[in-house]
Amino acid sequence: MISWKNSFKKISEEYALTLKKKEALEQLLKTGRISQSTYDDFSKEIDATLEALENQKKALMEKMKAKVNELETQIKTLEVFLVNLEIQRVTGEVDETAYENQAKSLTAGIEAAKQELSSMLNAMDELSLKAEPVEVKEVLKPFESSSVAYEEPAEEPKGETEEESAEQFPSVEPEPTVESSTVEEAESEEKVEFEPLESEVFPAAEEDTESELETTKEEEEVLL
């Protein structure tokens, strides 16, 4: 029983230490303190150690599975002995002193086997867990000072773009202007239509009217 516990403790401690080395190596690469080639060299060694420990874990798991079967069988056997002892006590086949001694031994053996079985199952659960590989998503380069002043990029206006505004509000083309000569002609035509009639338009009519008036006056004088 003690052998598997020692093996389990040794493998677990070495496995945890190797994982810490792996994590430290990842941090060195992320911060840019080591090159990719150096990281690859150390990573191969660490991965080889982890693989060897995984194989040891598998071998220990197989031994522990066999031990679990033995413990389960042992517990069942001790429980059968305890049942028979109780029956012998009831039937009077064993005296009280012998019963108490045997019952005490059987009960202690059953409890010890159960505790050992529980510890072994918990250890097997821990051994079955595998470390997840750590992926380096981004390699950060070391900070380098630069004499060039940093300029923040100008913020683009959040409003509509020129194309969108042009689509929504198309430009209105100016109407063609009317030439001044055309306007003057139109105004002159309007003036002609509404000008008062002058006397020169009908000169003959005025002369006839005057002659008629003179004739009328002469006739009146004759009558008088």
The model's pLDDT over 65-77, given as tens digits with 9 standing for 90+, comes to 999 999 999 999 9
Record the pTM: 0.51
* Tens digits of residue pLDDT in 100-143: 999 999 999 999 999 999 999 999 998 887 544 444 444 444 43
Q: Which residues of 9-42 are buried (b: 16+ CB within 10 A; e: fewer)?
A: eebeeebeebeeebeebeeebbeeeeeeeebeeb
Q: Is residue 91 part of a domain?
A: yes
With beta carbons less than 8 A apart as the criterion, state whether 34 and 66 touch. Answer: no
User: Two tokens at 192?
Assistant: 């002609």
Residue type, 54: E
With beta carbons less than 8 A apart as the criterion, state whether 50 and 44 touch. Answer: no
Q: Is 31 helix (H, G, I), strand (E, B) or coil?
A: coil
DSSP letter string, 40-105: HHHHHHHHHHHHHHHHHHHHHHHHHHHHHHHHHHHHHHHHHHHHHHHHHHHHTSS-HHHHHHHHHH
Q: Is residue 39 part of a domain?
A: yes
Kindly state the percentage of the chain with pLDDT values over 90: 51
Q: Is residue 19 part of a domain?
A: yes
Q: Is residue 114 part of a domain?
A: yes
User: Two tokens at 117?
Assistant: 């079985």
Q: How far is CA 161 from the centre of its chain?
A: 28
Q: Is residue 144 part of a domain?
A: no
Q: Is residue 153 part of a domain?
A: no
Which structural domain range is residue 53 located in? Answer: 2-128
Structural domain count of the chain: 1
Of 125, 123, 130, which Cα lies nearest the Cα of 8?
123
With beta carbons less than 8 A apart as the criterion, state whether 84 and 56 touch. Answer: no
Q: Is residue 64 part of a domain?
A: yes
Q: Is residue 157 part of a domain?
A: no
- Whether the predicted pLDDT of 92 surpasses 80: yes
With beta carbons less than 8 A apart as the criterion, state whether 145 and 35 touch. Answer: no
Query: What mean pLDDT do residues 2-6 have?
Result: 79
Of 22, 23, 110, which Cα lies nearest the Cα of 72?
110
- Whether the predicted pLDDT of 99 surpasses 50: yes
